[in-house]
Structure 1
Amino acid sequence: MTSLRAAVRSKTPLRGPFIAIPAPMAVDIVAGAKPDFICIDTEHSPISDGVLTDMLRAADLAQVPALVRVRGVLAQNITAALDAGACGVLVPHVSTAEEAAAVVRAARFPPHGARGAGPARAASYLRDIGGMISRAREETLVAVQLETLRAVANVEDILAVEGIDLVFIGPGDLGVDAAAHGSIAPVEALIERLVSAAEAAQVPVGIFTADRAASKRWMARLSFVIEGSDALFLTQASDAAAAPLD
């Protein structure tokens, strides 16, 4: 089976949701629809490390690749997700080349990084350290999320960091940051700056969308979209179900 990293690097069209509900059952339900991947979101949810491991087990059983959006750029966040068995990480709020390089160091084994080889689930609890390292070198997807004005200003330097497989645009936080700093540039122009820079650098680029229509528009140009989340789907379905019958 082609790894998610290989599919991203070849720019195969890929679309999947965030999973934010802290339960393996949520993974079972969403993965049953056979998205191209899921991205378990530990940044904006109460998913603990133990629950994350069980959610990754559920994704493996469904044979759906599972990324993890980690809590932040700290190395322990990144290695915990990879040790639990994630096929890659999406690291939020990366705004400089130095931060991007730190992400790579945490996610990659030597000589390309400084990740430690621990006896966790990814290594079959010590039974397969060598196999884990070999697989990780080939298959671990490292994605950074660009969602600040600093990231826009530094995008070329970030894209030049070796070991980054994907840059991912967060339109919501980018809009919040732009408004907070009084940016006169429309969010759409900031997004275009990021997309154009990634295209020029030949680095795969993805974006978050809230619905199918937005995904369809972006996938005419990009190859990677995270669309909505299980929590969003449940909210929308609940609102529809509870609406007045008349």
Structure 2
Amino acid sequence: MANFRKSCIDREPLIGTFSAIPHPVAIEVTARAGADFLCIDWEHSQIGRERIEDLIRAADVHRVPAIVRVPGHAPEQIAAVLDAGAAGVLVPRVSTADQAKAAVMATRYPPVGERGVGPGRAANYGYSIPDYLSKANDELVLAIQVETSEGLENIAEIVGVDGVDVIFIGPGDLSVSIGALGPKGKNKLDAAIRTITKTALAAGRTVGIFRPSTDDIAEWSATGISFFVLASDTMFLGSAVAEKTANARKLATKATVV
């Protein structure tokens, strides 16, 4: 897991998924299924702060990196998940360079940033603080989510912020923000995604994106995107049940009484 940040920065193809089910069993099942990483979704799920550490611990059992999408920009939220042992953090709704810099400050220890030292799980509850401090800045992944019209407008300044590892595109919110929702807005949304991708790659940043299915992974991979968050555990559960139930219904025949 120590090489996860290097894999991100080197733009190795990485396929992860959002974890929204607030139970370690869901984490273990997903981790064993072959995901390269998990993104525990604290922003858009019923997962609470107290549960996050258990979910990270479950991912650690199977040596699958778990990053956490925090609800906002608050430094204490970022510090909390990193202290719990997360392999990194995904900060949503980053629309300016100043917000990107603030995320760096909250994620990195001095002299790079301003993260406070705490005796959490990541530092072996205080018994391994020097060891953790010596490697945290080099190993923790900082991904920032660009998903607004303002972020699109400011993308050149955002990607220039040192300390950001992954520029992660949120197509759902971006489509709403730029007025490109639905099939009629596809070309406009795709153009915005390509602008963000091209600008970020030119600045030496890794680019990631959320995709609800595998249908266009090859298309977006060809643009240089290498960090994919594919659907979520809840979406996979729903689609699998729907598919298998429909198939079973087709195969089942009405019982006849002789």
TM class by shorter-chain length? over 0.9
Quick one: distance in 1 between partners of 2:2 and 2:226? Answer: 16
Quick one: distance in 2 between partners of 1:152 and 1:136? Answer: 30
Residue identity in the other structure for 1:233? F
Q: Provide the TM-score with structure 1 as the length reference.
A: 0.95
> Deviations for 1:196-237, whole angstroms, at most 9, x for unmatched residues?
101211211111111122223222332111111101001112
Residue identity in the other structure for 2:79? T
Provide the residue aligned with 1:186 in structure 2. Answer: 188
Residue identity in the other structure for 2:207? V
Quick one: distance in 1 between partners of 2:15 and 2:216? Answer: 12
Residues 153-232 of structure 1: pairs in structure 2 closer than 5 A: 153-179=153-179, 186-220=188-222, 221-232=224-235
Give the number of equivalent residue pairs: 244
Residues 130-141 of structure 1: pairs in structure 2 closer than 5 A: 130-141=130-141
SS at match of 1:186: helix
Provide the residue aligned with 2:55 in structure 1. Answer: 55
Indicate how the Cα distance of structure 1 residues 230 and 176 shifts in structure 2: closer, same or farther if over 3 A, else same.
same
RMSD over equivalenced CA pairs, Å: 1.7
Shift of 1:2: 4.8
> Deviations for 1:1-48, whole angstroms, at most 9, x for unmatched residues?
652111111111111111110111111000001211111111101111
Structure ID, larger Rg: 2
Quick one: distance in 1 between partners of 2:199 and 2:238? Answer: 35
Q: Provide the TM-score with structure 2 as the length reference.
A: 0.90
> Deviations for 1:71-116, whole angstroms, at most 9, x for unmatched residues?
1111111111101000100101000001001101100000111100
| Structure 1 alignment gaps of length 5 or more | none
Say whether the 8 Å CA contact 1:152–1:194 is kept in structure 2: yes
Residue identity in the other structure for 1:100? A
Residue identity in the other structure for 2:221? M
Indicate how the Cα distance of structure 1 residues 73 and 24 shifts in structure 2: closer, same or farther if over 3 A, else same.
same
Q: Percent identity?
A: 44
